[in-house]
A and B are shown apart, each in its own frame.
Chain A
Amino acid sequence: MADKVLMKGNEAIAEAAIIAGCRHYFGYPITPQTEIAAYMAKRMPKIGGCFLQAESEIAAINMVYGVASCGLRVMTSSSSPGISLKGEGLSYLAGADLPSLVVNVQRGGPGLGGIQPSQSDYFQATKGGAHGDFHMIVLAPASVQEMADLTVHGFDLADKYRMTSMILADGTMGQMMEPVSLDLNVKPMPEKPWATTGTKLERFHNITNSLSLVPEELEELNFKRYQRYAEIEKNEVMYEEYMMEDAEICIAAFGIASRVAKNAIVEARAQGIKVGLIRPITLWPFPKAPFLKATEKVHTFISVELSMGQMIEDVRLATECRRPVTLVNRAGGMIPSPEQILEAIKNAHKNGGAN
């Protein structure tokens, strides 16, 4: 038998979470991520885990808070409108420094929007996600294999830095089926001396709490948290470079957009245009360094997105506006075509960065 299985992206996330040791899942169904909940509903009872369909997204994220407080690996998943509902809980998790894994399989918005794929929650995911000063580690898979790999990695990072990791996928990634190896790199879970696991009368009791009424103390907590964020920005950046060695045009794209972009790049290369791709895998921390370095040879950057242009702002910041950054996009559930991207590449090639 082959050592791979055929999985939907959503299933790969669910199985990878189980492999990573997650035994608690709380969620509420919403297309296009429902297979995660459906998979957990089937699997969890068989392995002594807990699947619970909460009465709402808000209830689910607060159940995550509870299990995370107990020091166990826990996750929830939803799609765009449901993630907005979880916002309050995400902020509380950040305020209490609790590790968790949250999955957003994005669909077109705003509002209830549609059920087709989108990347328009980029701002929401990378710029905090709710009220207060905080970040989530945001991981953007571009294959079903990465859906699995990054889920495991997300749990590791969440535990290591005591914060939420978010898998930012989209409807296509969630629904598409590809071969997956489930031989995943699971690291041992770190000690969690802060967890509320019972004192056994051997220590003072632990509290997980996001309320802090003394401003000097709250400020101190914020400063400390941001020292950790600085560490993450230094150590945890992930990205892929594709045909960048001699590239004069650089496409920035993540997730499903990067797959379409690669097709366009191959076609443009066949026509003699030197174009490459930088694919951020961590959207926060954003891979600033490779973009800044690319400005030495690249005359135009093209951000390809399933949104009205959100990551483009981070590309501009990362390149310190040294080169023009243009946008190729579709919105509302539509996906840019390779032809549309190729057209933008040809234009950039013709203009040579002079626009």
Chain B
Amino acid sequence: MEFKRITLLSGHYGSGKTNIAVNMAFELKKQFERVVVADMDIVNPYFRTKDSLKEFEEAGIKLIASAFAGSNVDLPSLPQEMYSLTDDVSSHCILDIGGDERGALVLGRYADSIKRENDYEMLFVFNAYRPLTPDADSALEVMREIEWAGKIPFTGIVNNSNIGEETTPEDVLASMEKARELSEKAGIPLKMTTVASGIFPSLENKIPNLFPLKLQAKIM
């Protein structure tokens, strides 16, 4: 997999951004020495990249997150360290943006620097099985809202269509047409399709650029 210096993951909330960010960081670490994951989600106090802090530390991946992420304090703030993402160009970064246009608002603060350096990939995470983005048109609407709020245009699409643990290979295959339609309508490429590692083998030869996700641990 080829990476730009900065990879931004954005999309409808619950589309799977955080999980992809976590998995992508480990992939990135295979290729580059200095890898940083930035949790820019100030909307959702649950399901944070910080949940993977221990695994990141063991792998030598740096995590920048709000001091309050995953705590009981529901405070939307970001640390000043976030500026190192654009100031320090020796690191490769994954940016996990909050859901919808509300989550992407925070990105606007960093958008100019990111665009000036121009070594980024802004990926839209698409899940056709989420009720508010069941088709290309509704997803495109969310894309436009996020671009308006975050001030960075999308450059690619990640198809992460799934219905959780019950997802079958057929469900993923059935979503490909919608993902391609979205790619066509948005005028940007379908960069990859992500699936749970359990069903990865049965799809490996059927879908191009397939990326297996080792799902995050569930509490129950």
Interface readout for A236-252 with B: 1 if CB under 8 Å, 0 if not?
A: 00000000000000000
Majority DSSP secondary structure for residues of A touching B = mixed
From B134, B163, B166, name the one whose CB has the most chain A CB atoms within 10 angstroms.
B163
Q: Are B72 and A114 in contact (CB under 8 A)?
A: yes
Task: From B14, B128, B220, give the contact of A8 (CB < 8 A).
Answer: B14
Q: Are B220 and A263 in contact (CB under 8 A)?
A: yes
Q: Enumerate B84-102 residues with CB–CB distance to A below 8 Å.
A: 100
Distance, CA A7 to CA B132, complexed state (A):
10
Q: Are B46 and A6 in contact (CB under 8 A)?
A: no
Given contacts A31-B74, A114-B72, A115-B72, contact A6 B130 (CB under 8 A): yes
* Closest partner residue, chain A, to B170 (CB atom): A2
Chain A: residues with Cβ within 8 Å of the partner, total of: 31
Whole-angstrom distance between the Cβ of A293 and the nearest chain B Cβ: 29
Q: Enumerate B118-132 residues with CB–CB distance to A below 8 Å.
A: 127-132
Given contacts A15-B131, A116-B72, A333-B72, contact A5 B163 (CB under 8 A): yes
Distance, CA A76 to CA B46, complexed state (A):
23
Given contacts A5-B129, A5-B134, A8-B14, contact A175 B47 (CB under 8 A): yes
Q: Are B220 and A2 in contact (CB under 8 A)?
A: no
Q: Are A260 and B164 in contact (CB under 8 A)?
A: no
Q: Are B175 and A1 in contact (CB under 8 A)?
A: yes
A349 at the interface (CB under 8 A from B): no
A177 at the interface (CB under 8 A from B): yes
Q: Are A178 and B164 in contact (CB under 8 A)?
A: yes
B181 at the interface (CB under 8 A from A): no
Task: From B72, B130, B163, B165, give the contact of A2 (CB < 8 A).
Answer: B163
Q: Are A179 and B163 in contact (CB under 8 A)?
A: yes
A42 at the interface (CB under 8 A from B): yes
In the bound complex, residues from chain A placing their C-beta under 8 Å from that of B14 are 6-8, 11, 177
A32 at the interface (CB under 8 A from B): yes
B66 at the interface (CB under 8 A from A): no
* Closest partner residue, chain A, to B177 (CB atom): A1
Distance, CA A335 to CA B168, complexed state (A):
31
A259 at the interface (CB under 8 A from B): yes
Majority DSSP secondary structure for residues of B touching A = loop
In the bound complex, residues from chain B placing their C-beta under 8 Å from that of A161 are none
Distance, CA A252 to CA B134, complexed state (A):
39
In the bound complex, residues from chain B placing their C-beta under 8 Å from that of A15 are 131
Distance, CA A38 to CA B101, complexed state (A):
12
Given contacts A8-B14, A177-B164, contact A2 B129 (CB under 8 A): yes
Distance, CA A4 to CA B132, complexed state (A):
13
Whole-angstrom distance between the Cβ of A6 and the nearest chain B Cβ: 5
Given contacts A31-B45, A115-B45, A259-B220, contact A6 B163 (CB under 8 A): yes
B171 at the interface (CB under 8 A from A): yes
Q: Are A7 and B45 in contact (CB under 8 A)?
A: no
Whole-angstrom distance between the Cβ of A214 and the nearest chain B Cβ: 48
Q: Are B46 and A2 in contact (CB under 8 A)?
A: no
* Closest partner residue, chain B, to A332 (CB atom): B72
B162 at the interface (CB under 8 A from A): yes
Interface readout for A88-115 with B: 1 if CB under 8 Å, 0 if not?
A: 0000000000000000000000000011
B174 at the interface (CB under 8 A from A): yes
- A sample of 6 more A-B contacts (CB under 8 A), given A11-B131, A179-B129, A260-B220, is A1-B175, A5-B163, A6-B162, A8-B14, A11-B14, A178-B164
Q: Interface of B with A (CB < 8 Å)?
A: 13-14, 45-47, 72, 74, 100, 127-132, 134, 162-168, 170-171, 174-175, 219-220
Give the top 5 A-B pairs by smallest Cβ distance, nearest first: A179-B163, A114-B72, A2-B171, A6-B163, A1-B174
